[in-house]
Structure 1
Amino acid sequence: MTRFGYTLMTEQSGPRELVGYAAAAEDAGFDFEVSSDHYFPWLTSMGHSPNAWTMLGAVAHNTSRVELMTYVTCPTFRYHPAVVAQQAATLALLSDNRFTLGLGSGENLNEHVVGAPWPVAAVRQERLVEAVEIIRALHTGELTTWAGEYFRVDSAKVWDLPDQPVPLAAAVSGDASIERFSALVDHLIAVEPEADFAKGWDDARAAAGLPVSRKIGQIPISWGPDVDAATTRAHDLFRWFGGGWRVNADLPTPAAFDAASQFVRPADVAASIPCGPDLDAIVDAVRPFWEAGFTDVALVQVGDETQDEFLASVAPTLLDKLRTAAP
């Protein structure tokens, strides 16, 4: 059965609000919740970017059923992988094993703040591979020393570990990253409903003798009672969305995203994000994910001011429609 999640969008809401939305999303019936992990919002108009890990610790205590996930954390620049290993283990304990560590190779937007040079995509992927290996080693509870090409770890040990390993998921963008990560992590993350991603991932894991895993996608929606207002809101906050991974990964600041998206029209945004009150249109927008073989889809409701009404009045009906339509 396809599972549906709610996105704690740290770029558009403050930390107290996000903790409240997490509880409301659980009450509404979502299966899981994912959180972005950024230092900056994509656009200045979004206006927020609290620390995801601090917020998720509070969410773990304010919820009891939903699974939690970073979507995604970059463990290679702003965070050292040894620190991420400790954070993930602690959050797994606080949530009673409801946490999955979603990992990615990062965006310049968030990682440049530590002053490190921003390498090409191939190097970022190599750094992520090494980081995953370090996290895996530390999650055994053994004293770990590591001297790799990109990272060093000196006599590190994670003392507080959950009674089962923290599941790891990795964001992929094509055949090369699928080949790198399919046997290294437990689950796939991708934001585009590409059937080749899901099939390639499953085939690679089968060839390695590994079980079928989750394929986790994400899609923005802009529900609202008025189509024009919902479209305007989506254009104001999410016009960066159409840039694609290769553009989004390299731009350094919200001002750069503002400039890069200045010619995107509201009609362009509405063509890729369902806007307005039509829940069937939202179902149709999500449908390509399960048709492509994705097992999990997280929804991003655009606009902080819409969250309370969306979660209380709309989400339960929308989830019923999605579950009826999905396999």
Structure 2
Amino acid sequence: MATIGFHASHEQIDPGQLLKDVQLAEQAGFDAAMCSDHIEPWSARQGHSGFAWSWLGAALATTGLRFGVVTAPGQRYHPAIIAHASATLADMFPGRFWMAPGSGENMNEHITGDPWPSKETRQRRLEECVEVIRRLHAGEEVTHHGLVTVEQARVWDVPEVKPPLIAPAVSVETARRAAAWADGLVTVNQPAAKLRDMLSAYRDAGGAGKAVLQVHLSWAPTGAEALAVALDQWRTNVFSPPIPWDLASAAHFDGVSADVGPDQVRKVVNISADTAEHAQWLADYLDLGFDELYLHFVGQHQAPFIDAFAGHVLPQLRAGRRTQGVPA
């Protein structure tokens, strides 16, 4: 049966509350969880940005869920640090942790004061980092000189179960390129044709492993409330690359999104007060070929969403999978 997970949004919720939210999501029947590793939120209205790696230790220790994290080795983090952190989590919680190393966003990486490289340079830097991380996870002593420099690094506590390295991608080309190194693919909700092309590009290039989709959604008792939540919290996230890669702060995102309206937000967030409509949207994503969906309610108060989807959406999705011959 497909995995239906909970997306824990560090940019929107303080870490203590977010820990309670993910515990509630497990109790409500969500299968897994994921988060993104930010130091800067997308908007001052969101107003949070807990340290994902600290939080993951607490979340893994206080739930039985599998967790993933989208992170960016190469600038803010040396790849040996990411290898060390991920190895420790994987050693403590075997088979319950994966990470998605990406090329990064300037809003998080500019804090080092280093120049922000071109996308091609960031991609090549990421691929070097992935190689370094895999070698360290294998117990090697690593020296590497390239876009990143590593001198005699070794991770002494090597996990028996290596954490999968899932490629985050928002374009067909990135999905195709990632097939050379990734253990799976993760992306965000986009038009069905685009998602289909991304999956095909990844698989046709030899990409193996699971296909994961993070779904931005807004639900509330009324459609007007659901739209208001999405406009308030997610209107800074309607822009295509390179804008989300290159802007440097929440203030910049708030500035460029000042005139964003409902039609633009509806293109990136599934907005409805009807849980049956949400269930159908999610079923359609599964039918495209995704193995795992992580539901990101874009509001800051998660409990009503968790309760509503546990009662009305998760059962519909699981019943639908059974009718298609997928065991529950």
Shared fold, TM over 0.5: yes
Aligned mate of 1:163, from 120, 142, 160: 160
Conservation of the 8 A alpha-carbon contact between 1:97 and 1:162: no
Mapping of residues 49-198 of structure 1, within 5 Å:
49-64=49-64, 66-70=65-69, 72-147=70-145, 149-191=146-188, 192=190, 193=192, 194-198=195-199
Q: Which moved more, 1:81-90 or 1:23-32?
A: 23-32
How big is each residue's C-alpha offset from its partner over 1:61-120, in whole Å with a ceiling of 9 and x where there is no partner?
Answer: 1111x21000x1001111111000001011112323200011111111111111111111
Structure 1 SS opposite 2:166: strand
How big is each residue's C-alpha offset from its partner over 1:153-197, in whole Å with a ceiling of 9 and x where there is no partner?
Answer: 111111112212111101123344234321312011111351111
Structure 2 SS opposite 1:304: coil
How big is each residue's C-alpha offset from its partner over 1:11-41, in whole Å with a ceiling of 9 and x where there is no partner?
Answer: 1101111111111111121121001110110
Q: Find the aligned partners of 1:314 and 1:215 in 2 and give their Cα distance.
A: 22
Q: Find the aligned partners of 2:98 and 2:220 in 1 and give their Cα distance.
A: 31
Residue 201 of structure 1: aligned partner: 202
Q: How big is the shift at 1:286?
A: 2.6
How big is each residue's C-alpha offset from its partner over 1:128-156, in whole Å with a ceiling of 9 and x where there is no partner?
Answer: 10000000010011222112x21111111
Residue 239 of structure 1: aligned partner: 235
C-alpha distance 184-27 of structure 1, shift in aligned 2 (>3 A): same
Structure 2: gaps (5+ residues): none
Conservation of the 8 A alpha-carbon contact between 1:129 and 1:180: no
Q: How big is the shift at 1:271?
A: 5.0
Q: TM-score, normalised by structure 2?
A: 0.91
Structure 1: gaps (5+ residues): 207-211
Q: How big is the shift at 1:314?
A: 3.2
Q: Give the partner amino acid of 2:296.
A: V
Q: Find the aligned partners of 1:231 and 1:179 in 2 and give their Cα distance.
A: 34
Q: Give the partner amino acid of 2:181.
A: L
CA RMSD of aligned residues (A): 1.7
Residue 314 of structure 1: aligned partner: 309
Q: Find the aligned partners of 1:227 and 1:179 in 2 and give their Cα distance.
A: 38
Q: Find the aligned partners of 1:289 and 1:56 in 2 and give their Cα distance.
A: 27
Q: Find the aligned partners of 1:36 and 1:152 in 2 and give their Cα distance.
A: 25
Structure 2 SS opposite 1:168: coil
Q: How big is the shift at 1:287?
A: 3.9
Conservation of the 8 A alpha-carbon contact between 1:53 and 1:87: yes
Structure 2 SS opposite 1:249: helix
Count of aligned pairs between the two proteins: 318
Q: Give the partner amino acid of 2:175.
A: I
Q: Give the partner amino acid of 1:253.
A: S
Residue 209 of structure 1: aligned partner: none
Identity %: 36
Structure 1 SS opposite 2:260: coil
Q: Find the aligned partners of 1:259 and 1:25 in 2 and give their Cα distance.
A: 34
Q: Which moved more, 1:287-296 or 1:13-22?
A: 287-296
Q: Within the alignment, does 1:324 sit opposite 2:319 as a pair?
A: yes
Structure 1 SS opposite 2:6: strand
How big is each residue's C-alpha offset from its partner over 1:201-228, in whole Å with a ceiling of 9 and x where there is no partner?
Answer: 112227xxxxx41111111111111221
